Amino acid sequence: MAPVTVLCIGMAGSGKTTFMQRLNATLHSKKEPPYVINLDPAVIKVPFGANIDIRDSIKYKKVMEQYNLGPNGAIVTSLNLFSTKIDQVLKLVENKSDKFNHVIVDTPGQIECFIWSASGAIITEAFASTFPTVIAYVVDTPRNTSPTTFMSNMLYACSILYKTKLPMIIVFNKTDVKKADFAVEWMKDFEAFQTALRLDQELNGEDGTSSGYMSSLVNSMSLMLEEFYSQLDVVGVSAYTGDGFDDFLKAVDNKVDEYNEYYLKERERILKEKELEEKKRQNKSLNKLMKDMNVNDDTEVLSDYEDEPEDNNHNGEVVPDEEEEVEREYTFPEDRSAEITSNTEEDIQSRYQQAFEDTAKSASSKTVEAIANYIRR
- Say if residue 129's pLDDT is above 90: no
Check: CB of residue 89 under 8 Å from CB of residue 38: no
What is the per-residue pLDDT for 53? 94
Check: CB of residue 73 under 8 Å from CB of residue 63: no
What is the per-residue pLDDT for 200? 83
- Name the residue with higher pLDDT: 375 or 260: 260
Instruction: Read off the pLDDT of each residue in 264-273 and give the average, rounded to a whole number.
Output: 79
Which long-range CB contacts under 8 A does 194-203 form with residues at least 24 apart?
194/219, 194/222, 196/147, 197/147, 197/148, 197/222, 200/146, 200/147, 200/148
What is the per-residue pLDDT for 333? 47
- Say if residue 215's pLDDT is above 80: no
pLDDT tens, 243-261?
Answer: 999 999 999 999 998 888 8
- Name the residue with higher pLDDT: 271 or 161: 161
Listed range (63-77, 141-155, 186-200, 353-367) with the worst mean pLDDT:
353-367
Check: CB of residue 39 under 8 Å from CB of residue 108: yes
- Say if residue 343's pLDDT is above 80: no
pLDDT tens, 67-118?
Answer: 999 999 999 999 999 999 999 999 999 998 889 999 999 999 888 889 999 9
Instruction: Please report, in angstroms and rounded to a whole number, the separation of the first and last CA atoms in the chain.
Output: 109
Check: CB of residue 122 under 8 Å from CB of residue 23: no
CA separation for the pair 147, 92 (Å, rounded): 44
What is the per-residue pLDDT for 324? 46
Instruction: Read off the pLDDT of each residue in 336-349 and give the average, rounded to a whole number.
Output: 56
pLDDT bucket at 227, cuts 50 / 70 / 90? confident
Q: Are strands 168-173 and 233-236 parallel, antiparallel or unpaired?
A: parallel
- Name the residue with higher pLDDT: 188 or 292: 188
What is the per-residue pLDDT for 54? 94
**Chain mean pLDDT for the chain:** 81
pTM strictly above 0.85:
no
Three-state secondary structure of the chain: CCCEEEEEEECCCCCHHHHHHHHHHHHHHCCCCCEEEECCCCCCCCCCCCCEEHHHCCCHHHHHHHHCCCHHHHHHHHHHHHHCCHHHHHHHHHHCHHHCCEEEEECCCCHHHHHCCHHHHHHHHHHHHHCCEEEEEEEEHHHHCCHHHHHHHHHHHHHHHHHHCCCEEEEEECCCCCCCHHHHHHHHCHHHHHHHHHHHHHHHCCCCCCCHHHHHHHHHHHHHCHHHHHCCEEEECCCCCCCCHHHHHHHHHHHHHHHHHHHHHHHHHHHHHHHHHHHHHHHHHHHHHHHHCCCCCCCCCHHHHCCCCCCCCCCCCCCCCCCCCCCCCCCCCCCCCCCCCCCCHHHHHHHHHHHHHHHHHHHHHHHHHHHHHHHHC
- Put residue 174 in one of left, alpha, beta given phi > 0 → left and psi -120 to 50 → alpha: left
What is the per-residue pLDDT for 330? 45
CA 33 to chain centre: 29
**At 329, which amino acid appears?**
E
**At 181, which amino acid appears?**
D
pLDDT bucket at 349, cuts 50 / 70 / 90? low
Kindly state the percentage of the chain with pLDDT values over 70. Answer: 75
At CA 302, angle to CA 300 and CA 303, rounded to 5? Answer: 95
93 contacts: CB under 8 Å, gap ≥ 6? 3, 35, 52, 103, 130, 131
What is the per-residue pLDDT for 252? 95
* Range ranked top by mean pLDDT from 98-112, 299-313, 332-346: 98-112
Check: CB of residue 17 under 8 Å from CB of residue 50: no
Q: Would you mind telling me the total number of residues written for the chain in this entry?
A: 377
What is the per-residue pLDDT for 329? 45
Instruction: Read off the pLDDT of each residue in 146-170 and give the average, rounded to a whole number.
Output: 91
What is the per-residue pLDDT for 61? 92
Instruction: Read off the pLDDT of each residue in 339-364 and give the average, rounded to a whole number.
Output: 62
Strand order of the sheet with strand 102-106?
52-53, 35-38, 102-106, 4-10, 133-140, 168-173, 233-236
What is the per-residue pLDDT for 39? 94
- Say if residue 375's pLDDT is above 70: no
Instruction: Read off the pLDDT of each residue in 53-73 and give the average, rounded to a whole number.
Output: 92
Instruction: Read off the pLDDT of each residue in 25-45 and give the average, rounded to a whole number.
Output: 93
- Say if residue 377's pLDDT is above 60: no
